[in-house]
Structure 1
Amino acid sequence: MNTAPPSPNPTHLQAVVFDWAGTVIDFGSLAPMDAFVQLFARYGVRIDVAEARVPMGLAKWDHIHALGSAPRIAAEWQRVHGRPFSAADCDALYEVFTPMNAASVREHAQLIPGALATVQALRARGLKIGSTTGYNRPIMEVVQALAAAQGYAPDNLVCAGDLVSARPGPLMMVRTLSDLQVWPPAAVVKVDDTVPGLQEGRAIGAWVVGLAISGNTLGLSEAQWQALPAPEQQRLRERATAELRAGGAHWVIDSVADLLPVIEDIEARLARGERPD
């Protein structure tokens, strides 16, 4: 049995780790937005979709806490409830949120165009497929079944709530690399549509690819995106690309359908001795 440690200087990739909503399923990352808006409305506080999107990528408890702590929403909560938004309030909202989001994902679980073909091509190259998500386990039990019915079943799943801390820290990626038995992080690519998701890849030292069009950064359905005139598409693409690059992406592409040329570029860089910065 070979017990030699893996080389700290890999010459080939070993795995690609994908986020879920806005990355491989749910073009526009629409399911969580419905749930967040309805959640706060149930407690008498109005929030809009743009506000709900700001903390996307965080674990859902952290996301709710970030919303409740945002100055406008916090002031409205104080006005309605007569007290500041607290961790206890966040606990209560989180318990209500989970079944709401589990219901919402059923309406937004379609694989993003090109996702399945990309994953199949990566597997054909001998790469393992990992996954992390800001969703918790109860929500992902619904999502996993819906994705598997469409042919997508990654080699592992790490959810927010599985570990003591989630994004933007590295622990979910640490668990994923352990599950997949791959090392070092320079042999891994993290693909995500949110800045916290990109930062969890950077935190462990992986290559990081951001998705500008299919996910939360724009928050448009596929039909809404395709209906835009080309100049407006390009303006939004440039805006999203700048945001994701500022958030840590080494590359930014439209969607997972465009990933394979990036994989080839990374392989060439590894062969030249380059590593993620």
Structure 2
Amino acid sequence: MSTTSSTSSTLAPLQAVIFDWAGTLVDFGSLAPTQIFVEAFATFGIDITLAQARGPMGLSKWDHIHQLLQDESIAAQWRRRFGAAPGAADVDAIYARFMPMQIAKVGEFSAPIEGAVQTLQWLRDQGLKVGSCSGYPREVLDQLLPQAAAAGIAPDHVVAGDELRAGGRPGPFMALANVLALGIGDVRACVKVDDTVPGIEEGLRAGMWTVGVSLSGNEVGYSLAELAQASPQEIEARVARAEAKLRKAGAHHVVRSVAELPEVLRQIALQAGHGRPDAGCQMPPGCPCP
């Protein structure tokens, strides 16, 4: 990763980068929430796969559970076991089981993704503010944040998935709460970085530039051990599928991990002078925009 100082490059007019947490800054593969969803449902006698658990990733955890219960195969299991379709009270019950399990386990997945510490420092060297938001509830973040900070991941602001009355992703509210807290004067000067479709939609709805994260995130879903054992062909196939999904969701750029973010931010800074993120580049041929 390049660490060119702000004396030789500039990211103007950008003012802030707002990051997701699991799969983006920490927890390579976004393993903590997925495994706990599987375990929480199992305590009710319901079997879900890791792939199913990953499907709604990026939503607040209550909404995530609710979405999983809309899956026909999961709902059918629930009806067979309990004699009725799952409802809001059932979401509450699973959430109540999920929360202490997630709180107990999240610290085990607090390690920074390679390059994340250096990227945050680089952003600060460039004069940008660093925000963040998560689908994790505040109780979970309260366990994660001190351990992440000790390892070098300490954004200027953090918004939890359960603390805004307006709601969480895919709405723009957590991203906009960062804008207010950080004192950013223009949402178009912000970049949202996330490994999930709801997180990309959040940034777009907030009027921000968006960068998807493929290899380290939920859409690829490797642990570091699995990544080390996978063939190059399998890795590239998964990355290609993840990138296509994130771009289809509207991501302006996709990186394999936040270690690649500096170069993309330089491109966005050039694009940002040409108009709104959702307007597209209208410059003539030869423009550095993709």
TM bucket, shorter chain:
over 0.9
User: How far does the alpha carbon of each residue in 1:108-143 deviate from its partner, in whole angstroms, 9 at most, with x for none?
Assistant: 111000000000000000000000100000000001
User: Quick one: distance in 2 between partners of 1:20 and 1:238?
Assistant: 22
Shift in Å at residue 230 of structure 1? 1.9
Shift in Å at residue 15 of structure 1? 0.2
Alignment-derived partner of residue 153 in structure 2: 152
1:1-277 equivalences in 2 (<5 Å) = 12-164=13-165, 165-271=167-273, 273-277=274-278
User: Quick one: distance in 2 between partners of 1:227 and 1:80?
Assistant: 38
Q: CA RMSD in A?
A: 1.2
User: How far does the alpha carbon of each residue in 1:210-261 deviate from its partner, in whole angstroms, 9 at most, with x for none?
Assistant: 0010010011012322332222222111111101101111001100000000
Unmatched segments (≥5 aa) in structure 2: 1-10, 279-290
User: Quick one: distance in 2 between partners of 1:107 and 1:170?
Assistant: 29
Residues 118, 11 of structure 1: alpha-carbon distance in 2 compared, 3 angstrom cutoff: closer
User: How far does the alpha carbon of each residue in 1:24-82 deviate from its partner, in whole angstroms, 9 at most, with x for none?
Assistant: 00000000112101111101111111111100000000000111121110010010011
Question: What code does the residue aligned with 2:34 have?
Answer: M
Give the number of equivalent residue pairs: 267
User: Quick one: distance in 1 between partners of 2:103 and 2:195?
Assistant: 20
User: Quick one: distance in 1 between partners of 2:21 and 2:185?
Assistant: 22
- Alignment TM-score, normalising by the size of structure 2: 0.90
Unmatched segments (≥5 aa) in structure 1: 1-9
The 3-state SS of whatever aligns with 1:259 is helix
The 3-state SS of whatever aligns with 1:83 is coil
Equivalent residues of 1:26, 1:110 under 8 A apart = yes
- Alignment TM-score, normalising by the size of structure 1: 0.94
User: Quick one: distance in 1 between partners of 2:37 and 2:151?
Assistant: 26
Runs of 4+ in 1 over 3 A off after TM superposition: none
User: Quick one: distance in 2 between partners of 1:132 and 1:179?
Assistant: 12
Percent identity, please. Answer: 47
Question: What code does the residue aligned with 1:153 have?
Answer: A
Equivalent residues of 1:34, 1:104 under 8 A apart = no
Shift in Å at residue 262 of structure 1? 0.6
User: Quick one: distance in 2 between partners of 1:136 and 1:254?
Assistant: 26
User: Quick one: distance in 2 between partners of 1:118 and 1:86?
Assistant: 43
Shift in Å at residue 11 of structure 1? 5.2
Question: What code does the residue aligned with 1:128 have?
Answer: K
